[in-house]
Amino acid sequence: MSEIFATTMDPTKKELIGAWLPRQPWFAGEREPVLETLGGFRLDDPAGEVGMEFIIVKDTASPTPVTYHVPLAYRGAPLPGGEAFLLGTSDHGVLGKRWIYDGEGDPVWQAQVRALLAGDVVAQHQNISHTLEPLVEVHRATQESGAVAQAGGQGPEIAVVRRPVAGTAGPSGAPGWIASPWSDAGQDVSGSVIEFS
């Protein structure tokens, strides 16, 4: 179960995300983002080495605010071959230096997302240690545990929904999809953040 430390990060996750977002082709803003964290969830690494967090943020710098989904993988050492996915490093008050990657490029993240779809792991609360997140919705085409994860060898292709929309579901006929909860303007909502093909 995820262990959440009450400590500092320098730079913070929000600072790293804010510097990284404008370099992405799906960024919709026209100026430096001003981010508000809306919600998300975590997954555990069975080996206890990689932290995984799915973060929903809103950029309020634009006249029309935009919501983004940024999945992160936290490591205690560089990911070999992962330079293209690196947001940066941060000094964690308990764990020391951490290398922070866009989760899509991390093989442990990929494996655990497929395990979540297959029903072999469960989502963890974003901010409370040792607590499940029951509001994460996992929709799969088959209910057989493990069947989806093993389809076609390694598993179905993962597509990160970078600009989630509240109330949306995954594509029809897909092997499955995952919806995350978040809160916006005082309303609890959810929408598709991971889709499979």
pLDDT per residue over 40-75, tens digit each?
999 999 998 999 999 999 999 988 999 999 999 999
The residue range of the domain holding 85 is: 9-196
Q: Determine, yes or no, domain membership for 4.
A: no
Task: List the one residue out of 190, 165, 136, 191 whose CA is nearest residue 65.
Answer: 165
Q: Determine, yes or no, domain membership for 59.
A: yes
Q: Determine, yes or no, domain membership for 41.
A: yes
Residues 113-161: tens digit of each pLDDT: 999 999 999 999 988 878 899 999 999 876 444 444 444 456 789 999 9
Q: Determine, yes or no, domain membership for 96.
A: yes
Q: Determine, yes or no, domain membership for 87.
A: yes
pLDDT of residue 127: 81
Tokens representing 141? Answer: 């085409």
Q: Determine, yes or no, domain membership for 162.
A: yes
Q: Determine, yes or no, domain membership for 3.
A: no
Number of domains observed in the structure of the chain: 1
Tokens representing 1? Answer: 């179960």
C-alpha–C-alpha distance, residues 172 and 165, integer Å: 16
Question: For the chain, what is the mean pLDDT?
Answer: 89
Spell out the residues 6+ positions from residue 188 whose beta carbon is closer than 8 angstroms to its own.
181, 182
Name 53's bridge partners: 42, 72
Q: Determine, yes or no, domain membership for 1.
A: no
Task: List the one residue out of 47, 38, 53 whose CA is nearest residue 4.
Answer: 53
**Both ends of the chain: CA-CA distance in Å?**
29
| Better-scored residue on pLDDT, 34 or 152 | 34
